[in-house]
C-alpha cells in the first residue's frame, strides 16, 4: 500500500512527520498500536490514512471511537473537503439521519465512521458491527482519547471500560488506542483495560517547543490575566480555564468590559447557548473562551495563541492536555497559569473528601504534589514537565524560569516556624486553626481572634515578623505540596501536622522557594485590539495583502459550508499561497495542504483572489 501517495493526494502533504509513517505502516498492515503523540502532532492521520488504504484494499470500514461531538463534526467535515467518505453517529442527528448513516455503514459506503463509546457498545450497534465482521468488512478500530479508559487518567469515563468487548467479539480486527497525555500508570491501565498488551507502543516526544510555559503566584488573578492578555495577546484567540461556573461568567464579563471578545462556556449553560459559543470560537477569529474543563477536548482550532489557567488543575496530565490546545499550528503560543495557596487547599480537600479508596487518593495526592513541584520550580519548567512523562531534556530557554531565572531563598527556617506554631496551637487548646490565623501568629499580629484564643502567648508569636504574608503563604504551599501539612476538611479546613512534618522540623528536608514578584496593573479603559493579519511566516507588504484577502475569502467559504475556516485551509497554507503569488494551476502544485480534491474545488477561486490582490 502506498501510504505516501495517499498523504499527498488526499491531504496535500509531501512527507510524514515524526513517527507517523511507522505507525501508519504498522496499523495498515493489521497491527495493534498504542499511540502517544502530543496535541497537534498529527494523531488523526495515523488512523485516517490506514483507513483509506485498507478500504481501497477491500478490507472495509474503520470505526473511530471518540467522546467528542465537536471533533466528530470537524473531522468528518475535513474528510469530506478532502474527498473521503466519512460520517458520524451522535446525538445531533435526527432518527431518520441516524438510520441513513447506519444503512450507509451496512452497505460499506463509508470509509470512516465516528461514534461515541456509549453507542459502540449498544446491542444494536454491536449487531451491525457483527454483520460487517462476518462479511470481512470491519477494517480497524481507532480508540481516540484513550486515556479516558484509565481511573488514573485526568478524564476518566467509565463507558470506555466496556470497549474491551471489541477484542472479545471481533478478534483479528486491528485496534489502535491514541492519546496525547498519559503517564506510565495511565499507559499500563490503557493496555490492560483495552486488552492491548501485545500492541506496539509508539511514544513520541511530549515536547511542544513552540509553547512558552509561565506560572505566576496569584495576587489579583483577574488583573494579572488582563495584564497578560493586554501585553502579549491583544486580539488573539485564547482559552481561559476557571474552576467554577460562576467564576467563568464573572471573568468573561470582565474581559468583555475591558474590550476583549470573550464568551463563557460551562455545563450549566443552556445547551443552545453553549453550542453557539463553541461554534463562534471555532469559526471566528480573536475570540477568548472562558470555560471550565468541560470545554476543550476535541477542539482542533489551530490558531489558539494562549491558554490561561486562573485556577490550578488537578494534575500534570490535565495541565499538559489543556495547555496543549494552544499553538496546534506550531507557531509561538503561551501557557500561562496563576495559582495560590487556596488552590492547593481546594485540590487537597477534593481529594480527601472523595469517596474513593485510600490507595486511589494516595495516587491523586502524588499527582497533585508533582504539579505543585512544577509550579514552585526554580529551574526549567519544560524539563520538569517532560520528566514527569519519563522524558529527559535540556533547559529549553523559552519558559519563564529560563528567560528570567527567579531569585531563590531558603524557606527552611520559616517552614519550621509554621510547623512549630501549628503544633503549639493544638497543644494549647486541643483544636486547630486555618492559614489566616497561622499567618497572624507567626507575623505577630495581635488581632481580636489571636487575643481571644491566647495565641499571643505562644513562644512562636511574632517569630516571623520580618517575613511577608506572601512569603509565608509560599512556604505553606510547599509544606502542603510535600505532605508535611494536611488540611483537615472535617474541621473547617484547619491545618494539622503529618508524619512528614518531623523531617522538616529537624532540618533533614530543606524548603527552598522562589522570591515573589509583584505585577503592575493593566492600563485603564478598553484593551487595544491588533487588527493587522498575523501570518505564520514572514511576508512582504504585498504578500500580506494577498494573505488578508485569502483569509476573507476562506471565511466566506467556511460560512457557506458551515465549517470552521481551518477545515477549508490552514493559515500556513494560505500564507504559502500568498508568498508564492500563483498565476496558474501549476503554480499551486506542491503547496502543503492542497490535496487533489481541494485543488479541484478551490484552485480557480484562489487564483482569482490572488490576482485581484
pLDDT tens-digit map of 482-497? 778 887 766 777 888 9
C-alpha cell at 480: 502542603
Return all residues near 284 (Cβ < 8 A) that are at least 6 apart.
none
| Residue 44 half-sphere exposure toward CB, CA atoms < 13 A | 16
The per-residue pLDDT for range 346-364, each reduced to its tens digit, is: 888 888 888 888 888 888 8
Superfamily for the 3-203 domain:
P-loop containing nucleotide triphosphate hydrolases (3.40.50.300)
What's the pLDDT at 184?
82
Q: How confident is the model at residue 50 (pLDDT cuts 50, 70, 90)?
A: very high
pLDDT at 420 over 70: yes
Spatial separation of the C-alpha atoms in residues 294 and 283, rounded to whole Å: 19
541-561 vs 571-580: helix axis angle to the nearest 10? 140
Q: How confident is the model at residue 92 (pLDDT cuts 50, 70, 90)?
A: confident
Spatial separation of the C-alpha atoms in residues 341 and 469, rounded to whole Å: 11
What's the pLDDT at 519?
44
The per-residue pLDDT for range 287-335, each reduced to its tens digit, is: 999 999 878 666 778 899 999 999 999 889 889 989 999 998 888 999 9
pLDDT at 396 over 80: yes
Q: What is the mean pLDDT of residues 216-238?
A: 93
What's the pLDDT at 414?
92
Spatial separation of the C-alpha atoms in residues 456 and 505, rounded to whole Å: 22
The per-residue pLDDT for range 319-328, each reduced to its tens digit, is: 998 999 999 8
Q: What is the mean pLDDT of residues 205-213?
A: 93
Q: What is the mean pLDDT of residues 66-86?
A: 89
Q: What is the mean pLDDT of residues 436-451?
A: 93
Residue 601 and residue 534 in contact, taking contact as beta carbons nearer than 8 Å: no
Q: What is the mean pLDDT of residues 16-35?
A: 95
Q: How confident is the model at residue 409 (pLDDT cuts 50, 70, 90)?
A: confident
Spatial separation of the C-alpha atoms in residues 179 and 184, rounded to whole Å: 13
Q: At 115, is the secondary structure helix, strand, or coil?
A: strand
End-to-end CA distance of the chain: 42
What's the pLDDT at 240?
97
Q: At 239, is the secondary structure helix, strand, or coil?
A: strand
What's the pLDDT at 297?
64
What's the pLDDT at 613?
60
The per-residue pLDDT for range 453-479, each reduced to its tens digit, is: 999 999 999 999 999 888 888 888 888
> Whose grid coordinates read 491531504?
11
C-alpha cell at 136: 470481512
List, in sequence order, every residue forming a beta bridge with 212; answer none if it has no partner.
334
The per-residue pLDDT for range 115-143, each reduced to its tens digit, is: 999 899 999 999 999 999 999 999 999 99
Residue 217 and residue 516 in contact, taking contact as beta carbons nearer than 8 Å: yes
Superfamily for the 541-612 domain:
HRDC domain (1.10.150.80)
Helix (H) or strand (E) run with residue 202 in it: strand 200-203
What's the pLDDT at 133?
95
CATH class of the region 409-514 = mainly alpha
Residue 115 and residue 89 in contact, taking contact as beta carbons nearer than 8 Å: yes
Does 70 or 173 have the greater pLDDT score?
173
Of 535, 570, 552, 547, nearest in space to 78 by CA: 570
> Whose grid coordinates read 487547599?
345
pLDDT at 530 over 80: no
What's the pLDDT at 501?
93
In eight-state DSSP terms, residue 235 is T
C-alpha cell at 489: 476538611
Percent of the chain with pLDDT over 90: 57
What's the residue count for the chain?
A: 613
CATH 1.10.10.10 positions along the chain are 409-514
Return all residues near 109 (Cβ < 8 A) that are at least 6 apart.
85
pLDDT at 154 over 60: no
pLDDT at 373 over 90: no
Q: How confident is the model at residue 424 (pLDDT cuts 50, 70, 90)?
A: very high
What's the pLDDT at 521?
47
Its CATH architecture, for the domain 211-405, is: 3-Layer(aba) Sandwich (3.40)
Does 521 or 507 have the greater pLDDT score?
507
Q: CB-based burial of residue 426 (10 Å sphere; 0-12 exposed, 13-18 middle, 19+ buried)?
A: middle
CATH 3.40.50.300 positions along the chain are 3-203, 211-405
Of 344, 492, 511, nearest in space to 418 by CA: 511
Strand runs labelled E in 385-489: 408-410, 485-488
Give me the chain's average pLDDT, please.
89
Least confident of 117-126, 206-215, 531-540: 531-540
Q: CB-based burial of residue 612 (10 Å sphere; 0-12 exposed, 13-18 middle, 19+ buried)?
A: exposed
What's the pLDDT at 263?
96
Q: What is the dihedral of CA 206, 594, 25, 191, to 10 degrees?
A: 40
Residue 371 and residue 343 in contact, taking contact as beta carbons nearer than 8 Å: no
Q: How confident is the model at residue 518 (pLDDT cuts 50, 70, 90)?
A: very low
What's the pLDDT at 113?
97
pLDDT at 247 over 70: yes
Integer CA distances (angstroms), 265 to 241, 250, 313, 320, 430, in order: 10, 12, 17, 20, 45
The per-residue pLDDT for range 543-591, each reduced to its tens digit, is: 999 999 999 999 999 989 888 888 999 998 999 999 999 999 999 988 9
Amino acid at each position: 500500500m502506498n501510504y505516501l501517495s495517499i498523504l499527498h493526494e488526499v491531504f496535500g502533504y509531501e512527507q510524514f512527520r515524526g513517527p507517523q509513517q511507522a505507525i501508519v505502516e504498522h496499523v495498515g498492515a493489521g497491527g495493534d498500536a498504542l499511540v502517544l503523540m502530543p496535541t497537534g502532532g498529527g494523531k488523526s492521520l495515523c488512523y485516517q490514512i490506514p483507513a483509506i488504504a485498507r478500504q481501497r484494499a477491500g478490507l472495509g470500514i474503520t470505526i473511530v471511537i471518540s467522546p467528542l461531538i465537536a471533533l466528530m463534526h470537524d473531522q468528518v467535515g475535513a474528510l469530506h473537503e478532502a474527498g473521503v467518505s466519512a460520517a458520524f453517529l451522535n446525538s445531533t442527528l435526527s432518527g431518520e439521519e441516524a438510520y441513513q448513516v447506519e444503512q450507509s455503514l451496512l452497505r460499506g459506503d463509508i470509509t470512516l465512521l465516528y461514534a461515541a463509546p456509549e453507542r459502540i457498545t449498544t446491542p444494536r450497534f454491536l449487531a451491525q458491527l457483527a454483520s460487517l465482521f462476518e462479511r470481512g468488512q470491519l477494517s480497524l478500530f481507532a480508540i481516540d482519547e484513550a486515556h479516558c479508559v484509565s481511573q488514573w487518567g485526568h478524564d476518566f469515563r467509565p463507558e470506555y471500560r466496556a470497549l474491551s468487548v471489541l477484542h472479545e467479539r471481533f478478534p483479528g480486527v486491528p485496534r489502535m488506542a491514541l492519546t496525547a497525555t498519559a503517564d506510565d500508570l495511565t499507559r499500563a491501565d490503557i493496555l490492560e483495560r483495552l486488552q492491548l498488551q501485545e500492541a506496539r507502543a509508539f511514544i513520541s516526544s511530549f515536547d511542544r517547543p513552540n509553547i512558552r510555559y509561565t506560572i505566576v503566584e496569584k495576587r489579583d488573578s483577574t488583573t494579572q490575566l488582563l495584564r497578560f492578555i493586554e501585553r502579549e495577546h491583544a486580539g488573539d484567540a485564547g482559552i481561559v480555564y476557571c474552576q467554577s461556573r460562576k467564576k467563568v461568567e464573572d471573568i468573561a464579563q470582565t474581559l468583555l468590559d475591558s474590550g476583549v471578545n470573550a464568551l463563557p462556556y460551562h455545563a450549566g449553560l443552556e445547551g443552545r447557548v453553549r453550542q453557539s459559543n463553541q461554534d463562534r470560537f471555532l469559526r471566528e477569529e480573536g475570540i477568548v473562551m472562558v470555560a471550565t474543563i468541560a470545554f476543550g477536548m476535541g477542539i482542533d482550532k489551530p490558531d489558539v495563541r494562549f491558554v490561561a489557567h486562573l485556577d490550578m488543575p488537578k494534575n500534570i496530565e490535565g495541565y499538559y492536555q489543556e495547555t496543549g490546545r494552544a499553538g496546534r499550528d506550531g507557531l509561538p503560543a503561551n501557557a500561562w497559569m496563576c495559582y495560590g495557596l487556596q488552590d492547593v487547599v481546594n485540590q487537597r480537600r477534593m481529594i480527601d473528601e472523595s469517596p474513593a479508596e485510600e490507595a486511589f487518593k494516595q495516587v491523586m495526592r502524588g499527582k497533585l504534589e508533582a504539579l505543585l513541584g512544577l509550579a514552585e520550580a526554580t529551574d526549567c519548567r519544560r524539563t520538569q514537565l517532560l520528566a514527569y512523562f519519563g522524558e529527559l531534556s535540556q533547559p529549553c530557554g523559552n519558559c519563564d524560569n529560563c528567560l528570567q531565572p527567579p531569585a531563590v531563598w531558603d524557606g527552611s527556617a520559616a517552614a519550621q516556624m509554621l510547623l512549630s506554631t501549628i503544633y503549639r496551637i493544638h497543644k494549647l487548646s486541643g483544636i486547630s486553626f486555618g492559614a489566616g490565623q497561622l499567618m497572624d501568629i507567626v507575623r505577630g499580629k495581635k488581632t481580636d481572634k489571636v487575643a481571644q484564643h491566647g495565641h499571643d502567648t505562644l513562644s512562636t508569636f511574632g517569630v516571623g515578623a520580618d517575613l511577608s504574608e506572601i512569603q509565608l503563604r509560599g512556604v505553606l504551599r510547599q509544606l502542603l505540596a510535600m505532605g508535611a501539612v494536611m488540611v483537615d476538611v472535617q474541621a473547617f479546613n484547619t491545618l494539622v501536622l503529618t508524619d512528614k512534618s518531623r523531617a522538616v522540623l529537624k532540618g533533614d528536608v530543606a524548603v527552598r522557594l522562589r522570591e515573589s514578584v509583584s505585577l503592575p496593573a493593566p492600563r485603564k479603559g478598553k484593551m487595544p485590539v491588533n487588527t493587522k493579519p498575523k501570518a505564520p511566516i514572514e511576508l512582504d507588504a504585498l504578500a500580506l495583502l494577498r494573505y488578508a484577502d485569502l483569509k476573507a475569502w476562506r471565511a466566506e467559504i467556511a460560512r457557506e459550508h458551515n465549517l470552521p475556516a481551518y477545515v477549508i485551509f490552514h493559515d500556513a497554507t494560505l500564507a504559502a499561497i500568498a508568498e508564492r503569488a500563483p498565476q496558474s494551476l501549476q503554480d499551486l502544485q506542491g503547496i502543503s495542504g492542497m490535496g487533489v480534491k481541494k485543488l479541484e474545488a478551490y484552485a480557480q477561486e484562489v487564483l482569482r483572489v490572488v490576482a485581484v490582490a
